Amino acid sequence: MKNNKWSQASIVTIAVLMLWLKTYIAYKTSFDIKIENWKQEIILFINPLSFLMFIFGISLFLKEKNQKRYILITSFIVSVILFANVVFYRFFNDFLTIPVLFQTSNMSDLGSSVTELINLKDLLYFADFIILALLIKFKPSFIGYREYSKVDRRAFFLVSIAIAFFNLGLAETERPQLLTRTFDREMLVKNIGTYNYHLYDAFLQSKSSAQRALADGSELADIDNYVRANYLPPNDEMFGAAKGKNVILVSMESTQNFVINQKVNGQEITPFLNDFIKESYYFDNFYHQTGQGKTSDSEFLVENSLYPLSRGAVFFTHSGNEYKATPEILNENGYFTASLHANNKSFWNRDIMYQSLGYKRFYSLTDYEVNEGNSVGWGMKDIEFFDQSVQHLKEMPKPFYSKFITLTNHFPFELNEEDSFIQPYTSNDKTVNNYFPTVRYQDEALKRFVQKLKDEGLYEDSIIILYGDHYGISENHNKAMSEYLGKEITPFESTQLQKVPLIIHIPGQEGKTISTVSGQIDLKPTILHLLGIDTKDHIDFGTDLFAKDRLDFTVLRDGSFITKDHVYTRETCYDKATGQPADKESCEQFMEKAKNELEYSDKIIYGDLLRFYEQQ
């Protein structure tokens, strides 16, 4: 029999309403979700509701004690999911995916990065859970319990389903083919909500697992034809220009191109790189193309000339795949191949992935003398790292291919006072302020490294390639970046900020700035051609940076792309000369190419298609 008090359904209602309100507040305050019109605002407001009604509605089938326990546990879990997205978004400007959650082995190494992202005010994200716990514990007079009939439960879930379909229908009118745009997580969250997005992500994860099992070699035919049609022969003047030379490849942590030839507080940010550029090939229109895997994604791009995945890191999700990476190819051509990184060998699953890429040796944490005095932030300081690494280089068989991964210029950009060569920037943003001194420190480390190579007789026998691995300053810091750059950070400018330095030094050759639009995916064929190894029989999506008649074109992992005259991002085509929106027709001729490259590369990875390539 019904009583006159609020029934237990009221607790369900309270739980739903509080989490609904909290989620919407988080959307507006913790995520930078672009709203263009009133319809999008309505979609954003209602999108958490159907999931919350459904998940809490399950409690209607339970007895009182279990019902209370279920509501509390569910409220806590959903709050944790929301909060995890908030923390992840603060640095990566992105939402969590299931593959990223499987990368928990990295968490022990994150240290100060995570603590920097969490503050006391974050307890507010669990305020509703605390209120629910108090209501259930103290049982105020307006709370009661009753059993619900089939009709009651059916009506509740029908309303939930109706809201879900209304939400999805409204979203489809605003953004057609919404669920096919899986690389654009902000669009998915904006339209179907963060919780439904995670359900959809789980579906995609199970789908990707099935793709390998169902794949066969016939899928490679179209991809192989596309790659061959886009292959460019090497430049006769540059092909083999570094044949027999050692290769020293340096991944510069979080280094964006805007610091090159610039000053902060009247002092040069990268004085060594500014000078080194003058005697090297410098590519000033070179973009990082990483996704959620960040540094590991840049490694994947550089070694394989394949795009990373839009979800998670290939180093974790597909480390068992067959690849034809640069180290494996160079092994076959008489090189000793090694990667050097003073971190745990299992971080980003490198110990496993490097075997798949063909590295003969991985110099990791155990190969260095690391102590409190020579460490800061994420680990060993770059100056000490390079200093100890030169001894490893001297002991390697020649010629060698060696990849270095730096650490000091990593969020949250910590630096000891004695290692500061310039003062921080002065804005209200600590992250942006501290970025400049750590970039300057890295520059000093590279200067000393190059000098040591000269001192040890390695410099003249080696080509040195320096490249930025990914952005260091995310869009969450646009206000301070706008202040430093002296201009508004529009989506166009944000895309331009994805440029990272690429410097290729070849002994005996004069310096030159090359402004071809390019990306990390182009490094594999470029390096191999410089060493005199043709790539016409490889499945590479990049093209030699020195090739004649190169197309000025590069695709970013989020689907944006850059051409000689235009930038396409967030459904808008921009004129590079003005930075203003242009006719979409100006970008349309490249849209299909951008889409094909990302999809073809995804097919290769998800289906592990290169295992069939030798059979072609």
Domains of the chain: 8-211 (no CATH), 226-615 (3.40.720.10)
Q: What is the DSSP letter of 377?
A: T
Higher-scoring residue by pLDDT: 611, 88: 611
Q: What is the pLDDT of residues 147-201, one digit of tens each?
A: 777 888 899 899 999 999 999 899 888 877 677 655 567 788 889 999 998 888 8
Q: Is it the case that residue 117 has pLDDT exceeding 80? A: no
What span, in angstroms and rounded, lies between the C-alpha atoms of 283 and 295?
20
CA-nearest of 281, 410, 400, 297 to 340 is: 400
Q: Is it the case that residue 4 has pLDDT exceeding 80? A: no
What span, in angstroms and rounded, lies between the C-alpha atoms of 204 and 121?
34
Supply the pLDDT for residue 351: 86
What span, in angstroms and rounded, lies between the C-alpha atoms of 512 and 278?
7
In order of 124, 164, 454, the CA distances from 530 in angstroms are: 56, 56, 21
State yes or no: is 74 an active-site residue. Answer: no
Q: What is the DSSP letter of 581?
A: B
Scanning 339-421, the segments in alpha helix (DSSP H) are 350-357, 382-395
pLDDT band at 480 (very low <50, low <70, confident <90, very high): very high
Mean pLDDT of 512-534: 97
Supply the pLDDT for residue 171: 87
From 295, 516, 526, 543, the catalytic residue: 295
Supply the pLDDT for residue 34: 81
pLDDT band at 615 (very low <50, low <70, confident <90, very high): very low
As given in the structure block, the two tokens for residue 610 are 């290169």
**178-192, 388-402, 524-538, 583-597: lowest mean pLDDT where?**
178-192
Mean of all residue pLDDT scores within the chain: 89
Residues near 148 by beta carbon (within 8 Å), at least 6 away in sequence: 9, 60, 156
Residues near 342 by beta carbon (within 8 Å), at least 6 away in sequence: 364, 365, 367, 368, 370, 379, 380, 385, 388, 407
Report the b/e string of 37-68 with b at 16+ CB within 10 A. Answer: eeebeebbbbbbbbbbbbbbbebbeeeeeebb
**130-144, 270-284, 320-334, 469-483: lowest mean pLDDT where?**
130-144
pLDDT band at 372 (very low <50, low <70, confident <90, very high): confident
CA-nearest of 354, 378, 428, 508 to 114 is: 378
Q: Which one of 113-122, 131-140, 168-177, 471-480 scores highest in mean pLDDT?
A: 471-480
Supply the pLDDT for residue 6: 38
Q: Which one of 85-89, 170-174, 578-582 scores highest in mean pLDDT?
A: 578-582
Supply the pLDDT for residue 145: 62
Supply the pLDDT for residue 338: 98
Supply the pLDDT for residue 285: 97
Supply the pLDDT for residue 425: 96
Supply the pLDDT for residue 64: 80
Supply the pLDDT for residue 143: 67
Q: What is the pLDDT of residues 406-455, one digit of tens each?
A: 999 998 899 998 999 999 999 999 999 999 999 999 999 999 999 999 99
Q: Is it the case that residue 312 has pLDDT exceeding 70? A: yes
Mean pLDDT of 92-105: 67
Supply the pLDDT for residue 46: 93
Supply the pLDDT for residue 336: 98
Q: Is it the case that residue 339 has pLDDT exceeding 90? A: yes
Mean pLDDT of 585-611: 94
Q: Strand 246-252 to strand 400-405: parallel, antiparallel, or no bridges (unpaired)?
A: parallel
**105-114, 273-282, 520-529: lowest mean pLDDT where?**
105-114
Q: What is the DSSP string of 490-520?
A: -HHHHHHTTB--EEEE-TT---EEE---EEG
Q: Is it the case that residue 3 has pLDDT exceeding 90? A: no
pLDDT band at 9 (very low <50, low <70, confident <90, very high): very low
Supply the pLDDT for residue 211: 79
Supply the pLDDT for residue 114: 63
Residues near 26 by beta carbon (within 8 Å), at least 6 away in sequence: 82, 86, 125
Q: What is the DSSP letter of 546?
A: T
Scanning 47-120, the segments in alpha helix (DSSP H) are 49-57, 64-92, 98-101, 107-110, 112-117
Supply the pLDDT for residue 67: 85
Q: Is it the case that residue 102 has pLDDT exceeding 80? A: no
Residues near 123 by beta carbon (within 8 Å), at least 6 away in sequence: none
Supply the pLDDT for residue 501: 98
